Amino acid sequence: MEEVDNIIITTLKEIGCNLDEEVTGLQGFSADHVVEACVRCLRLINSEFKSSTHLPEAMSSRYRMCTSLANTIQALGYPGEIGYQTFLYSSIKEWRKLLMFLLEKLPRENAQTSDEPTGTRVMLGRVIAAELSLRLQSPWTPALCKKESTAWSGNSSWLEGTRSVHAYHGMDVQAPTGTADLTVKLPKDLKQYYNRHMPYMSAQLRIRKDVLSSLLEKNANEVAAQQEWEAEWNQLGLSSRLSEEEYRARKKQKLQKKLADQLRTSLQQGRTTASAGLGLGSDLQTILNSFADKGSEYQGTGSRFQHAEKLQFALEDDGPQVEEATEEELQQRREEELTGLQDQLADLTSKLELLDLNMKKYKASMGQMGELQTQGATKNKEEEEAYKVKKKTFDLLPNADENITKLKELIQKSADRLALLSSKWEEIRGPLMNKYRTLKADSENKESESTKLLEEIRFMRERMKELADETRLKDDLYKQLVAEYERMAKDVSRTSYTRRIMEIVANIQRQKEDIGKVLQDMRMVQKEINSLTGRLERVFTVTDEQVYKGARKDEARRAAYKLLANIRDGCELVVEAIKDTGQIKREQRDLEEQIDTENGKKVKANLDRISADFDEMKKENSQLIAKLKSRSQ
């Protein structure tokens, strides 16, 4: 793995990671190094990714930062499991796998050119440029939210970033309306006012700092009004089955009526103060008259209550004063009028439903009558044709023999004429058929040739597509190889890379040879085991047959046969024990390898670090709680 670690460290130094010269492998990496390497790789992969390259001091901030990095890397398609523990408490194996994944995801176009200089000065410049770019793209933070703020000295002092801070104050500004729709022509006077006399928005305000806040306020009001209108139209306007203009007119009429009711109430209250010389009644009456004039085009005949109310106000204005109706009487009148209107509405609704039903019946009967009329017209036409034929037949009946003779002569002439025409048609049809067969044969030959040409063209196009794809792949491979070549450090000679590659190949070949020898030994041992097992089975079988032949007659051979069976069972038990022993040894080796793997993960050390970080987080939480309590007091 030393070669892999050297490649990873060289690549990380090229992209700007600050690694010491003493670090020669991932054994010298810490959590800070891994986080910095991951952040710089993610910046090159995604230009919109913004994050610090150093771990914060607070443990809660560390967990949040590492969790965010883990989610970002997981979104790139990282195959293994990853979380905050991968950066803080993971093993070198996991770090190597993570860094190799990120280095493979790096874009090739970000590689260095062959003539680009390398060195400590260039690396320092890149680090400074990257840090400045990050600071310029980071959002502005108020000075009160910073841990340290810089104070400016001079004639006046202020905190950093608070010099241009002022209160948010929005005022009413005017803007041209109706200019967005080019199909609607504006009046000439209004257009002239917009062009010559209407001041700019920046000139409408006395304080220039309030321009932005005023524009934001105006835009927010217009957006809110538009949203309210859309919500009202979608809920109430569409259900009213009126057009948008009619709904607006109806809404305007309701508002004017509501204002008129309010003004009438104020007028009645103002008449009580007329003796004091305030004169409010006449002014309110004027306003009511103006509302009546404006809303006359939207008003209908009105209800009985409205006519009675108008008559009451007319009598109050023209004649002597009459006794005013009480609120209970007005409410009773309204209820009576509402009941009468509801009865009229129910009556009209029932009549409308009856008319709709009659209309549907009339339409159905009209359709049936139309079909009957069409059938009658067809039948009349057929009967007229039959009548004409019968009429001609009846006309010929008085001179039947003479007419039959004439009809036979006509039939004979028609037959002779058909024979003549058929002979002429045969004379014309023969050359035409020969020509048709010749042209058809030529067409079939040309069609087969064109089919062959189309097949060749289709094959050539497919071949061209394959060649184009192959060329594109080779171009991409060429660009990738060129980019990798340009990325490689030029101060290292080719012989060192060649020597390193040859050493790696030799190690792999030696490992393959060792593995082959082990496999061969295992095969030989397995063959020997199989041979001995077969020999043992054959020996037992032959011995069993020989002893069993004489066991029927001789008691000693019968006892020998029993001993042989016991020996066979014992040998089988020994063989099974040997197999179980081998299986246990293999399981023991696997468990030892798992123990070595777990020891390599440094679980105990990670647990100690997690416990220490948890204690530190507890201290931070207690400090924050104490600060909150002191501020609340």
Q: Give the pLDDT confidence of 474-490 residue by residue, as tens digits.
A: 888 888 888 777 766 66
Quickly state the pLDDT bin for 497 (edges 50, 70, 90): low
Tell me the mean pLDDT in the region 327-331.
Answer: 78
Quickly state the pLDDT bin for 633 (edges 50, 70, 90): low
Please provide the average confidence, as pLDDT, over all residues in the chain.
77
CB distance 95 to 37 below 8 Å = no
Q: Is the pLDDT of residue 134 over 50?
A: yes
Q: Is the pLDDT of residue 221 over 80?
A: yes
What DSSP designation does 26 have? G
- What is the domain count for the chain? 5
Quickly state the pLDDT bin for 601 (edges 50, 70, 90): low
Q: Is the pLDDT of residue 313 over 70?
A: no
Low-confidence winner among 287-301, 316-330, 531-545 (lowest mean pLDDT): 287-301
Q: Give the pLDDT confidence of 384-430 residue by residue, as tens digits.
A: 888 888 887 777 777 777 878 888 888 888 888 888 988 888 888 88
Q: Is the pLDDT of residue 346 over 70?
A: yes
Tell me the mean pLDDT in the region 116-140.
Answer: 67
Which pLDDT belongs to residue 81?
82
3-state secondary structure at position 235: helix
531 shares its domain with 448: no
Q: Answer whether residue 476 is part of any domain.
A: yes
11 shares its domain with 133: yes
Q: Give the pLDDT confidence of 18-31 residue by residue, as tens digits.
A: 787 777 777 778 88
Q: Whole-angstrom Cα distance, residue 32 to residue 54?
A: 6
Q: Answer whether residue 259 is part of any domain.
A: no
415 shares its domain with 477: yes
Q: Give the pLDDT confidence of 76-113 residue by residue, as tens digits.
A: 888 888 887 778 777 788 888 888 888 888 876 444 43
Which pLDDT belongs to residue 301?
43
Of 265, 294, 270, the closest CA to residue 282 belongs to 270
72 versus 132: which is more confidently predicted?
72
Q: Answer whether residue 190 is part of any domain.
A: yes
Which pLDDT belongs to residue 279?
46
130 shares its domain with 45: yes
Q: Whole-angstrom Cα distance, residue 38 to residue 601?
A: 21
471 shares its domain with 507: no
CB distance 545 to 564 below 8 Å = no
Q: Whole-angstrom Cα distance, residue 560 to residue 579?
A: 28
Q: Is the pLDDT of residue 146 over 50?
A: yes
Which pLDDT belongs to residue 371?
87
Structural domain ending residue among the three candidates 473, 492, 511: 492
25 shares its domain with 120: yes
487 shares its domain with 512: no
Structural domain ending residue among the three candidates 192, 214, 229: 229
Taking residue 623's Cβ as centre, other Cβ atoms within 10 Å add up to 10
Q: Give the pLDDT confidence of 547-565 residue by residue, as tens digits.
A: 777 666 777 777 887 887 8
Which pLDDT belongs to residue 311?
46
Please name the amino acid found at residue 438: T
Please name the amino acid found at residue 522: M
Structural domain ending residue among the three candidates 138, 160, 190: 138
Q: Answer whether residue 296 is part of any domain.
A: no
Q: Answer whether residue 614 is part of any domain.
A: no
Q: Is the pLDDT of residue 118 over 50?
A: no
481 shares its domain with 584: no
Q: Whole-angstrom Cα distance, residue 406 to residue 540?
A: 124
Computed from CA positions of residues 392, 394, 398, 401, in that sequence, does the dihedral angle turn out positive or negative? Answer: positive
503 shares its domain with 411: no
Which pLDDT belongs to residue 619?
80
439 shares its domain with 504: no
C-alpha of 464 from chain center: 36
What percent of the chain is modeled with pLDDT above 90?
Answer: 0
Which pLDDT belongs to residue 212?
87
Q: Whole-angstrom Cα distance, residue 290 to residue 283?
A: 11
Q: Answer whether residue 372 is part of any domain.
A: yes
Q: Which residues of 386-410 are buried (b: 16+ CB within 10 A; e: fewer)?
A: eeeeeeeeeeeeeeeeeeeeeeeee
536 shares its domain with 566: yes
CB distance 87 to 66 below 8 Å = yes
Q: Answer whether residue 192 is part of any domain.
A: yes
Q: Whole-angstrom Cα distance, residue 466 to residue 166?
A: 67
Q: Is the pLDDT of residue 147 over 50?
A: yes
Note down the domain range covering 346. 315-386
Q: Whole-angstrom Cα distance, residue 54 to residue 127?
A: 13
How many degrees, rounded to 5, is the angle at CA 254 between CA 249 and CA 259? 125
Tell me the mean pLDDT in the region 224-253.
Answer: 83
Burial zone of 87 (CB within 10 Å; 0-12 exposed, 13-18 middle, 19+ buried)? buried
Which pLDDT belongs to residue 302?
47
CB distance 37 to 510 below 8 Å = no
As given in the structure block, the two tokens for residue 371 are 């079909």
Q: Whole-angstrom Cα distance, residue 270 to residue 38?
A: 80
Q: Answer whether residue 485 is part of any domain.
A: yes
3-state secondary structure at position 411: helix
Q: Give the pLDDT confidence of 28-49 residue by residue, as tens digits.
A: 788 888 888 888 888 888 878 8
Taking residue 30's Cβ as centre, other Cβ atoms within 10 Å add up to 10
C-alpha of 62 from chain center: 31
Out of 230-239, 324-333, 482-491, the most confident range is 230-239
9 shares its domain with 101: yes
Note the pTM of the prediction, 2 decimals. 0.30
